[in-house]
Structure formats: C-alpha cells, structure tokens
Amino acid sequence: MIRTMTLTSPPPQSTEAFDILVRGLTGDPPPALFLDVDGTLLDIAMRPDEVIVPPGLRRALARIHDGLDGAVALVSGRPVDELDRLFAPLRLPAAGAHGAHWRTHSAGDTERLPDIALPAAIRADLTALQARHPGLILEDKQSSIAIHFRERPALARALATAVTGIVEAAGDNSVTVLPGKAVLEVKRSGFDKARAIRILMASEPFTGRRPVFIGDDVTDRVALDAVSAAGGIALSVERPIGRVAGVFASAADVRDAIESVAELMETPN
C-alpha cells in the first residue's frame, strides 16, 4: 500500500533546490527517489575507497525508504555489492556500475546484464597504462574499468588520448569511453543510468510513481534528462547539468537536504 508523505514547512535555511526537492516528494502521483552516490550523497575522495558515509545519512535514508514504501534507490557507477559495503548495515534498492546490475527491493537479489565483460586485450592494455603512471588508480568493476587520475590531474589530456587509442585499436564498436570527474571509464555501450532508472521504474515499489533524481556529473546527464522528460524532478550538484530544475551547491548540501526531509517526514501508522 502506498502511504502519503507529509512534510511540514521547510526550514528557513532551505535553498531553492531543497524547495524543489520537497515539491518533488509530495503530491500525486507519489514519488520515487533516485540518488547518485559519489559527488552527490558523498564527498568525492582522492581514492574511491576513502569516501566517508556519515551515520546520520544512513539513518536518514532508512527513514525515507520506509516513508516511501521502499521507493528509494542508489544509482551509481559503483557496483551494487560495493554500495552495500559502504552503506552497511543499510541495504537499499540499487543500480550499480552505470546500470550493469540492479536490485529492485532492499531484500531482493541483484540482477546482472549478461556478456558485458570487456575484451581481454583492452583490459590488459589499460592495466599496463596504469602501471606506467604511478598515482593512477585502476578500478576493475568486471563490467567496466575506471582509471582515476585525481592524483595526477596534469595527465588528463594525455590519458584521454591514450585510453581512446586503446579502445579504438581494439576495433570493438560496442566499447565506449565514459568521462567523469577526474576519471575515465571504459565500458560496453547499451546500458547507462537512464536505462537503470527505467528498469527500476518498471518494477514494484517504483512503478506508477514520479521519479526524482539527484546527480552531480556528466555521467548522470542521460538520467537527469530522461527523468525530466518523463515529467519527474531532476536536480544536480555544483552546476546545472542538462535539463535540471535546480542545483545544490555541494554534496554536503544534498546530505543536509536528505536529513531535513527525513526529519520532516511523518509516516502514518
């Protein structure tokens, strides 16, 4: 059964983006909340394994999950099992690795796209590229490989050329390079965060709801635009991206907004 979420007046320090978020989480049809992780819920760290999940954020997400009858999902470039480790003991519906795998219920099994592993030659060449440049971080997600250059920003242009060259030399048109914040990710085409949200929206408890998505990077643009085009609410972080209705100044502001929404939420018994 879908419960109605009631919010009291937003706190005085609310930003325009917070006000838009509140409007997106009220009214009919009931909402479904989708949240990017790195750069949106969490501050980006120098290394992917150094991010910090504040305990208060876990509690707030758990409360909103309950208030929306489970219609809250993490939509991330990180694999679903890694999201589970980060947010433990909280376990939410999620789409990971840019939609390569997903889970529609917090207690459900993770489904995965078949046959999307990268060619062995590309994997070997990217590993060798990382080995030649100390400070680069290679993150192997099985369905994709991300090379982070936050510690070597001067390599950005040369690295983009090298990674693009590796992909083109492989001669596989199904492999693409996805640029992000100080990262280049090599993955198969045909799946992304927009597709992931569509899959979730086609399943309970999300079906029939109005999507609300917050993202921070160009990797989120396709999902932000898709949510907006579907009549949902799209919000970005730090700068406008695509067809967004509002912008949060920082990930810290998004966390404050999530915690405020959780505090304002009243779930009828």
> Catalytic positions, please?
36
Residue 152 near residue 129 (C-beta atoms within 8 A): no
What strands, in cross-sheet order, belong to the sheet with 72-75?
111-112, 101-103, 94-96, 72-75, 31-35, 210-215, 233-237, 246-248
CA distance 256 to 233: 18
The backbone region for 223, taken as left when phi is positive above 0, alpha when psi lies in -120 to 50, beta otherwise, is: alpha
Q: Cis before residue 114, ω within 30 degrees of 0?
A: no
- Which of 216, 232, 257 shows the shortest CA–CA distance to 29? 232
Lookup: tokens for 104? 């529609």
73, containing H or E segment: strand 72-75
